């Protein structure tokens, strides 16, 4: 083109060069583009027919310019493009005019030509001014490219805030698990991994960590909070180790401690805490998981010799998925129906030897290996059958029920139901340890993904360095709300722990519901968070060396053990409905009228047309608005569920069917309750934080958590008239803004978790 006689004969034709280069540089010239340029060329009366025919010929899709020719065109364009700057942007039309002038074009180009060229730019969809960046070789500076990590707070002080008064113990645990002996195995076989996991747990026991919660008289420190702290801290290491630790010292040991009496404590707790006596917790059966009350294993009392016969009546009564059972367990806490003189006295717990010290299976006990699993393969899960296994009477864990010397059933709790739930309530600690472990796994995943995203560069503007992927809005949107959520859960789980430690009997139902709800909420979030982290790291996240795959696989089962999450949320809902009913049963007619009046008043305030459309940032960032929105949703869903249940029951429907009909609604009751509690505890932490810098970033994270939850439930808020579309749109915009602001603190925020490099271990997070 540049060497053609027609082009050389008229330098004014250079005015079309930037336009022609632009339409050809993507290698495809569409029919619409050809027609557009052809029509505009027809209007140029200052061009001769020969020049028009020449320019038409350059638009032939069958004869595109050669690559070398396109490079020559670009060199010409650079002669004028490099003279522009971000402050004086030139479009294609202006570049063409400057280029024609550079080559000595006469005054033949009329003023109308520029208008035609601008029209051509617009028709082709070219953004005027972007050409400056596309063709200017000078480095381009953008807001996106300039965003970078810059802590607005002191990381050490934030770490201290997170650890609280458990900092010394956390530091000690992290030091121990950072030892090379705990390094992750590579290409290890199943058998080797299981033995290594046992070795790790023994090393932790040697440090006194296993017995932390047991009384001092039995080798412990009488420190239940410390036990939960240890579970959370070792979760930064190998999760098979965590679960085997939890089975041995938590489920097995705590069942002896909480369900047994002093004779059991003296005989077994010390050996349990040192791992001299490896044990199991045999509750789940093939046919019964969540419905513990329906288990079929029997424990028949034999008065003539003061023994119990433990028996598996059929295949679905076998104890399944029992940790420590396949290889190492020597004794199991077995949950079975107590049969006394032919009568069923409900579920009780018994200590049953399953192996001797040499590892030989005891008479009448059959154990099968569950084999490889999706994750947690360092834990030796097994299936246990009991064929009329005899145990002494003293092996009944008899804190809440026993058989006296006359062979009569006795219990300090008369009600079978109350006794059963009291017994299970003492074991609620498992539903505290698991979510704390899950949240640690989420922290590890986010630390890997965020640190990688801060250094991994992809794309960027022309003639400028590539941009860290953490600078991209979509990447921020993926990770920043999740970061806010793990902080929120951290404080909520600390609150739950304190409620459990300082519990009174009349608070147990509420605490059990809270533990169930937070376990479900946190473990579901872990599953979602780790999947997002994996995808955010691309192919690197898929590599085993970067650990997200192990975290994903190992925590996947967290959503179903210690209670299936969906079932747990129904448990939460039933508890809330009981409290709802109790609230009304304890107030008189005037009290009920006042309650209804206050509800109506609140609704009138919150559903005010001005409020539901209010979009200013001060309002949307107001914690009072956040909490009111959460409380309104929880209250409305709860009352709606109560009305639905009452309607079904009033119509004569069986109560079982009524609950089944409203199950979906009940799960939402659970979600709304837990979300409100988590927000309240995050807000409480913000209020009591004294360090100004910590307070500022935590306040921002709290707002991001609250608004993200509101956005997640925006359909509900819109359906119920609590907000209008203009408000939910404003919330979406504000979340984007908060994600952008939190980005600069994202790396410091995950560094505040203080996860040892040896535990994080992912190369992409350590470069």
Q: Which domains does the chain show, CATH number per domain?
A: 5-138 (no CATH), 179-427 (2.40.110.10), 431-766 (1.20.140.10)
DSSP state letter for 252 = I
Q: How many residues does the chain have?
A: 767
Q: In 3D, which of 426, 424, 384 has the Cα closest to residue 293?
A: 424
* Other Cβ atoms within 10 Å of 659 Cβ, number: 18
Report DSSP letters for 575-637, one per residue: HHHHHHHHHHHTS-HHHHHHHHHHHHHHHHHHT-HHHHT---HHHHT-HHHHHHHHHHHHHHH
* CA–CA gap between residue 204 and residue 454 (Å, rounded): 35
| Token code pair at residue 483 | 């970061």
| Token code pair at residue 48 | 């001769």
* CA–CA gap between residue 425 and residue 276 (Å, rounded): 28
pLDDT tens for each residue of 50-79: 888 888 888 888 888 888 888 888 888 888
* CA–CA gap between residue 454 and residue 148 (Å, rounded): 8
**pTM metric for this prediction:** 0.87
Q: In 3D, which of 22, 1, 3, 35 has the Cα closest to residue 96?
A: 22
Place of tokens 């929120």: 488
State residue 589's pLDDT score.
46
- The CA R_g of the chain, rounded to the nearest whole Å, is 35
- Which residues of the chain have a pLDDT value below 70? 26-28, 82-89, 106-107, 124-142, 461-463, 580-607, 609-610, 767
* CA–CA gap between residue 619 and residue 612 (Å, rounded): 11
User: What does residue 141 show for φ and ψ, rounded to 5 degrees?
Assistant: -105, 130
State residue 421's pLDDT score.
80
Q: In 3D, which of 577, 581, 563 has the Cα closest to residue 515?
A: 563
| Token code pair at residue 766 | 């350590």
State residue 596's pLDDT score.
46
Report DSSP letters for 123-140, one per residue: HHT--TTHHHHHH--SPP
State residue 141's pLDDT score.
66
Which residues, in sequence order, are CB contacts of 407 under 8 Å at separation 6+?
Answer: 301, 303, 340, 341
SS3 labels along 51-98: HHHHHHHCCCCCCCCCHHHHHHHHHHHHHHHCCCCCCCCCCHHHHHHH
């Amino acid at each position: 083109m540049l060497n053609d006689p027609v082009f050389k004969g008229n330098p004014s034709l250079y005015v079309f060069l930037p336009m022609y280069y632009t339409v050809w540089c993507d290698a495809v010239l569409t029919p619409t583009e050809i027609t557009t340029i052809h029509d505009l060329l027809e209007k140029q009366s200052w061009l001769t027919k020969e020049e028009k025919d020449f320019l038409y010929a350059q638009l032939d899709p069958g004869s595109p310019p050669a690559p070398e020719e396109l490079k020559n065109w670009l060199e010409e364009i650079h002669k004028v493009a490099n003279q522009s700057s971000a402050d004086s942007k030139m479009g294609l039309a202006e570049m063409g005019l400057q280029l024609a002038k550079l080559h000595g074009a006469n005054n033949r180009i009329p003023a109308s030509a520029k208008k035609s060229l601008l029209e051509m730019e617009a028709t082709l969809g070219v953004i005027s001014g972007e050409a400056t960046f596309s063709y200017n070789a000078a480095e381009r500076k953008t807001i996106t490219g300039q965003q970078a990590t810059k802590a607005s707070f002191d990381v050490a002080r934030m770490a201290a805030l997170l650890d609280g008064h458990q900092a010394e113990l956390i530091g000690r645990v992290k030091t121990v698990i950072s030892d090379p002996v705990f390094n992750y195995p590579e290409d290890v076989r199943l058998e080797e991994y299981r033995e290594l996991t046992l070795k790790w747990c023994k090393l932790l026991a040697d440090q006194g960590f296993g017995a932390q919660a047991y009384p001092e008289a039995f080798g412990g420190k009488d420190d239940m909070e410390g036990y939960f702290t240890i579970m959370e801290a070792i979760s930064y290491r190998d999760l098979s180790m965590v679960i085997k630790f939890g089975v041995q010292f938590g489920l097995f040991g705590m069942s002896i401690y909480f369900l047994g009496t002093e004779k059991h404590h003296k005989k077994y707790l010390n050996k349990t805490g040192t791992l001299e006596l490896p044990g199991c917790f045999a509750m789940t059966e093939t046919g019964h998981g969540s419905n513990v009350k329906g288990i079929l294993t029997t424990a028949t009392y034999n008065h003539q010799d003061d023994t119990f016969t433990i028996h598996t009546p059929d295949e679905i009564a076998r104890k399944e998925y029992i940790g420590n059972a396949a290889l190492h367990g020597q004794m199991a806490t077995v949950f079975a129906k107590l049969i006394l003189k032919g009568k069923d006295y409900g579920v009780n717990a018994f200590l049953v030897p399953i192996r001797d010290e040499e590892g030989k299976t005891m008479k009448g006990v059959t154990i099968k290996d569950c084999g490889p699993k999706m994750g947690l393969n360092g834990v030796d899960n097994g299936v246990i059958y009991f064929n009329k296994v005899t145990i002494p009477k003293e092996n009944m864990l008899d804190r809440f029920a026993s058989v006296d010397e006359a062979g009569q059933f006795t219990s300090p709790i008369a009600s079978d139901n109350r006794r059963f739930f009291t017994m299970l309530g003492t074991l609620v600690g498992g539903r505290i340890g698991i979510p704390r472990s899950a949240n640690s796994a989420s922290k590890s995943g986010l630390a890997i993904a965020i640190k990688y995203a801060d250094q991994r560069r992809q794309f960027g503007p022309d003639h400028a360095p590539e941009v860290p992927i953490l600078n991209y809005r979509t990447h921020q949107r993926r990770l920043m709300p999740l970061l806010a959520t793990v902080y929120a859960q951290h404080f909520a789980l600390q609150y739950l722990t304190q409620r459990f430690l300082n519990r009174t009997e009349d608070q147990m139902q509420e605490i059990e519901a809270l533990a169930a709800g937070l376990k479900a909420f946190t473990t579901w979030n872990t599953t979602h968070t780790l999947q997002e982290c994996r995808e955010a790291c691309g192919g690197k996240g898929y590599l085993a060396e970067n650990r997200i795959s192990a975290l994903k696989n190992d925590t996947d089962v967290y959503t179903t053990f210690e209670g299936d999450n969906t079932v747990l949320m129904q448990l939460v809902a039933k508890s809330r409905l009981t409290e709802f009913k109790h609230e009304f049963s304890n107030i008189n007619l005037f009290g009920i009228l006042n309650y209804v009046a206050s509800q109506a008043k609140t609704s009138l305030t919150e559903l005010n047309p001005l409020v539901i459309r209010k979009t200013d940032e001060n309002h949307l960032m107001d914690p009072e608005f956040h909490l009111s929105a959460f409380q309104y949703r929880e209250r409305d869903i709860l009352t709606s569920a109560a009305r639905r249940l009452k309607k079904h029951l009033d119509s004569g429907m069986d109560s079982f069917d009524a609950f089944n009909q409203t199950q979906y609604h009940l799960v939402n009751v659970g979600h709304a309750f837990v979300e409100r509690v988590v927000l309240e505890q995050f807000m409480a932490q913000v209020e009591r934080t004294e360090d100004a810098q910590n307070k500022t970033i935590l306040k921002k994270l709290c707002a991001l958590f609250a608004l993200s939850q509101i956005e997640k439930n925006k359909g509900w808020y819109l359906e119920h008239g609590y907000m209008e579309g203009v408000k939910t749109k404003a919330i979406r915009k504000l979340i984007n803004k908060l994600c952008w602001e939190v980005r600069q603190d994202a790396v410091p925020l995950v560094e505040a978790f203080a996860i040892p490099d040896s535990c994080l271990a992912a190369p992409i997070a350590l470069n």
